[in-house]
Chain A
Amino acid sequence: MEDMKLIADHLVYEYNKGTNQTVRALDDVSFVIHPGEFIGLIGHTGSGKSTLVQHLNALLRPDGGTIYYDGADVFEKGYDRRALRGKVGLVFQYPEHQLFEETVFKEVCFGPINMGLETKEVEMTAYAAIKRVGLPDECIDQSPFDLSGGQKRRVAIASVLAMKPEILVLDEPTAGLDPKGRDELLSMITELREKEGITIVLVSHSMEDVAEYVDRIIVMDRGKILYDDVPKAVFAHAKELEEIGLSAPQVTYILQDLKKAGLEVDTTGITLAEAKETILEALHWKG
Chain B
Amino acid sequence: MDPRTKLLGTLVYLVSLFLFASLPVYALAAVFLIFVMILSKVPFSYMVKGLKPVLFFLVFTIMMNMFLVKGEVIWTFWKLQVTREGLRQSFYMGARLILLILGSNLMTLTTTPTRLTNAIEAVMKPLRLIKVPVHEIAMMMSIALRFIPILLDETDKIMKAQMARGADFESGNLIKKAKSMIPVLVPLFISAFRRANDLAMAMEARCYHGGKGRTQMKPLKYAGRDYIAYVVLLLYLTGLILLGKYSAELLKLLGI
Which residues in A have some Cβ–Cβ distance to B below 8 Å? 54, 57, 59, 82, 85-86, 89-92, 95, 97-100, 110-111, 113-115, 145, 159-160, 163
**Which residues of chain A are within 8 angstroms of B158 by Cβ–Cβ distance?**
97-98
* Cα–Cα, bound, A185→B214 (Å): 48
Chain B residue with Cβ nearest A156? B161
Q: Are A92 and B166 interface neighbours, CB within 8 A?
A: no
Which of B160, B186, B190 interacts with A54 by CB under 8 Å? B160
Nearest opposing residue in chain B for A91, CB measure: B164
Residues of B within 8 A of A98 (CB): 158, 161-162, 165, 183, 187
B186 contact set on A, CB distance < 8 A: 100
Q: Are A92 and B183 in contact (CB under 8 A)?
A: no
- Count of chain B residues near A, Cβ 8 A: 17
Contact A115 B166 (CB under 8 A): yes
Q: Is the CB of A92 within 8 A of B167?
A: no
Does the CB pair A159–B160 fall under 8 Å? no
B163 at the interface (CB under 8 A from A): yes
Which residue on B lies nearest to A53, using beta carbons?
Answer: B164
Please name the residue on chain B nearest to A116 by beta carbon. Answer: B166
Does A59 contact B182, Cβ atoms closer than 8 Å?
no
Q: What are 15 A-B residue pairs whose CB atoms fall within 8 Å in the complex?
A: A59-B164, A82-B166, A85-B164, A85-B165, A89-B164, A92-B157, A97-B190, A98-B162, A98-B165, A100-B183, A100-B186, A100-B187, A114-B165, A114-B167, A145-B190
Most buried by A among B162, B163, B164, B186: B164
Task: Assess whether B61 is interfacial by the CB under 8 Å rule.
Answer: no
Min CB gap B195→A, angstroms:
11
Number of A-B contacts (CB under 8 A): 55
Q: By CB atoms of chain B within 10 A, which of A90, A95, A97 has the most?
A: A97
Q: Which residues of A contact B162 (CB under 8 A)?
A: 98
User: Nearest CB to that of B171 among chain A residues?
Assistant: A82
Query: What residues of chain A lie closer than 8 Å to B167, measured between beta carbons?
Result: 110, 114
B45 to chain A, nearest CB (A): 11
Task: Mark B175-187 against chain A: 1 for CB-CB distance below 8 A, else 0.
Answer: 0000000110011
A sample of 14 more A-B contacts (CB under 8 A), given A59-B160, A110-B167, A159-B165, is A85-B166, A89-B164, A90-B164, A91-B164, A92-B161, A95-B161, A97-B158, A97-B187, A98-B183, A99-B187, A100-B187, A110-B165, A114-B166, A114-B168
- The chain B residues found within 8 Å of chain A, CB to CB, are 157-158, 160-168, 182-183, 186-187, 190-191
Q: Which residues of B contact A97 (CB under 8 A)?
A: 157-158, 161, 187, 190-191
Q: Are A86 and B160 in contact (CB under 8 A)?
A: no
Q: Is chain A's interface secondary structure helix, strand, loop, or mixed overall?
A: helix
How many Å from the CB of B86 to the closest CB on chain A? 39
Tell me the interface secondary structure of chain B in the complex: helix
Closest Cβ–Cβ distance, residue B230 to chain A (whole Å): 36
10 tightest A-B contacts by CB?
A: A114-B166, A100-B186, A98-B161, A90-B164, A111-B165, A92-B161, A100-B183, A59-B160, A100-B187, A115-B166
Closest to A110 in B: B165
Q: Is the CB–CB distance between A100 and B166 below 8 Å?
A: no
Interface pair A110/B164, CB less than 8 Å apart? no
What's the nearest-Cβ distance from chain B to residue A77, in Å?
Answer: 15
B169 smallest CB distance to A (angstroms): 11
Quick check: B166 and A86 within 8 Å, CB to CB?
yes
- Min CB distance A279 to B, Å, is 44
In the complex, A23→B160 CA distance in Å?
21
Q: A54-B160, A98-B158 are in contact. Are A160 and B165 (CB under 8 A)?
A: yes
- Indicate which residue in A54, A145, A163 contacts B165 across the interface (CB closer than 8 Å): A163
Closest to A88 in B: B164
Across-interface contacts of A99 in B (CB, < 8 A): 187
**A163 cross-chain contacts in B, Cβ below 8 A:** 165-166
**Alpha-carbon separation in the docked complex, A89 to B157 (Å):** 16
Residues in A with CB closer than 8 Å to B165 are 85, 98, 110-111, 114, 159-160, 163
Known contacts A99-B187, A100-B186; A92 and B168 CB within 8 A of each other: no
**Cβ-defined contact, B164 with A160, below 8 A:** yes
CA distance A98 to B191 in the complex (A): 9
Give the one of B165, B182, B183 with max A CB within 10 A.
Answer: B165
Which residues on B sit within 8 Å (CB–CB) of A111?
Answer: 165-166
Cα distance A89–B164 in the bound complex, in angstroms: 7
Report chain B residues within 8 Å CB of A89: 164
Q: Nearest-CB distance from B153 to chain A (Å)?
A: 12
Closest to A54 in B: B160
Chain A residues whose C-beta falls within 8 Å of the C-beta of B182 in the assembled complex:
100
- Determine the distance from Cα of A97 to Cα of B161 in the docked complex, in whole angstroms: 9
